[in-house]
Amino acid sequence: QVQLVESGGGLVQAGGSLRISCVASGRAFSTYGMGWFRQAPGKERELITGISAGGTPTYYADSVKGRFTISRDDAKKLVYLQMNSLTPEDTAVYYCAAAPAGWSISSSFAYEHWGQGTQVTVSS
């Protein structure tokens, strides 16, 4: 079992950057694939990026490819999401999630453990 807590959300202007973090507790963090989801008001939650155990491969949804970067630090049990060139369409609650070993990080169904979310708001 792994517990996840996100932090670093906030208000940023369009075109700006923000890095959000997710700290894990529990055992065997390094064996989990990790991902970031987001949910905008009135929309379904969507998987935007994932990173495998060991750091490769990674997955990015088309909506964030080239702008967002996922990374992990297994020694600190941290996962980061660096977000650049933000637009108001990126406004959402961002959730960290963990997928057990053997599941594809590009499948939203793989993720079993969730954080509480952190709000990211991009102003125009």
Tell me what pLDDT residue 19 has. Answer: 98
The CB-side HSE value for 80 (13 A sphere, CA atoms) comes to 12
Question: What is the model's pLDDT at position 27?
Answer: 86
Residue with the bigger pLDDT between 24 and 27: it is: 24
pLDDT the model gives residue 1: 83
Question: What pLDDT is stored for residue 39 in this prediction?
Answer: 98
Cα gap 83→57, rounded to integer Å: 19
All residues at 6 or more sequence positions from 75 whose CB lies less than 8 Å from its CB, including other chains: none
**Dihedral of CA 44/18/118/103: which sign?**
positive
pLDDT, mean of residues 67-90: 98
Question: What's the average model confidence in pLDDT over 25-43?
Answer: 95
- Which of 118, 78, 115 has the alpha carbon at shortest distance from 97? 115
107 vs 47, 49, 104, CA distance in Å?
8, 10, 6
